[in-house]
């Protein structure tokens, strides 16, 4: 299936830029941790813990970017041989299922965030754990938005065949 999003709009690169920043900071923190361990025989739990939290945010933001770009892992042996309209229909079904799944996970994740916030749960380094857990509902919400964007563009450009889709 063909991708329809406008590659020139900042909106369509938001997760990429956030992930690039998180990855860069995480890489610097982990490199510093390695240098501290092997050269100075020291360890910094703060660097280790914060890089883990950044990785969690990275994963959930990158998954919504994969939905936008239609790059999730799948097997296309059968669907690649189907007509374009049938492929588009199956893609729409897949996006609706993804929205349902993401909504359920977002709902459950929100309760975890609220529990941690209300209880004042903190990590060993006194970092509020609700901020790390907030990655789940935020990432699922971004996945829902990207799935809705793909549904709109697939209906408009693949099923109805209107030009000018620059969402």
Residues 80-105: tens digit of each pLDDT: 899 988 988 999 999 999 999 999 99
Whole-number pLDDT of residue 166? 58
Q: Is residue 165 part of a domain?
A: no
pTM of the model: 0.86
Number of structural domains the chain divides into: 1
Q: Check the CA dihedral 5-7-9-11 and report its sign.
A: positive
Range of the domain at 24: 10-159
> pLDDT confidence of 134, banded at 50, 70, 90?
very high
Question: For the chain, what's the residue count?
Answer: 167
Q: Is residue 167 part of a domain?
A: no
How far lies 99's CA from each of 56, 60, 67, 74, 160, in Å?
A: 21, 15, 11, 17, 22
Cβ atoms of residues 154 and 91 within 8 Å: yes
Q: Is residue 166 part of a domain?
A: no
Would you list the DSSP string of 13-29? GHHHHHHHHHHHHHHHH
Dihedrals φ, ψ of 157, to 5°? Answer: -100, -25
Cβ atoms of residues 131 and 68 within 8 Å: no
Q: Is residue 41 part of a domain?
A: yes
Round to whole Å and give the CA distance between 136 and 112.
9
> pLDDT confidence of 2, banded at 50, 70, 90?
low
Q: Is residue 18 part of a domain?
A: yes
Q: What is the mean pLDDT of residues 32-61?
A: 93
> pLDDT confidence of 164, banded at 50, 70, 90?
low
Q: Above 70 in pLDDT, residue 1? A: no
């Amino acid at each position: 299936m063909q991708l329809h999003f406008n590659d020139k709009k900042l909106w369509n690169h938001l997760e990429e830029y956030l992930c690039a920043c998180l990855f860069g900071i995480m890489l610097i923190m982990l490199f510093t941790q390695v240098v501290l361990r092997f050269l100075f025989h020291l360890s910094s739990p703060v660097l280790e813990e914060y890089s883990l939290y950044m990785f969690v945010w990275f994963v959930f933001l990158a998954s919504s970017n994969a939905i936008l770009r239609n790059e999730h892992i799948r097997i296309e042996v059968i669907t690649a041989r189907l007509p374009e309209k049938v492929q588009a229909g199956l893609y729409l079904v897949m996006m609706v299922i993804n929205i349902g799944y993401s909504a359920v996970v977002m709902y459950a994740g929100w309760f975890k965030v609220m529990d941690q916030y209300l209880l004042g749960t903190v990590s060993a380094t006194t970092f509020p754990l609700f901020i790390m857990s907030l990655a789940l509902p935020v990432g699922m919400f971004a996945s829902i938005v990207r799935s809705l964007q793909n549904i709109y563009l697939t209906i408009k450009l693949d099923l109805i065949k209107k030009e000018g889709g620059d969402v």
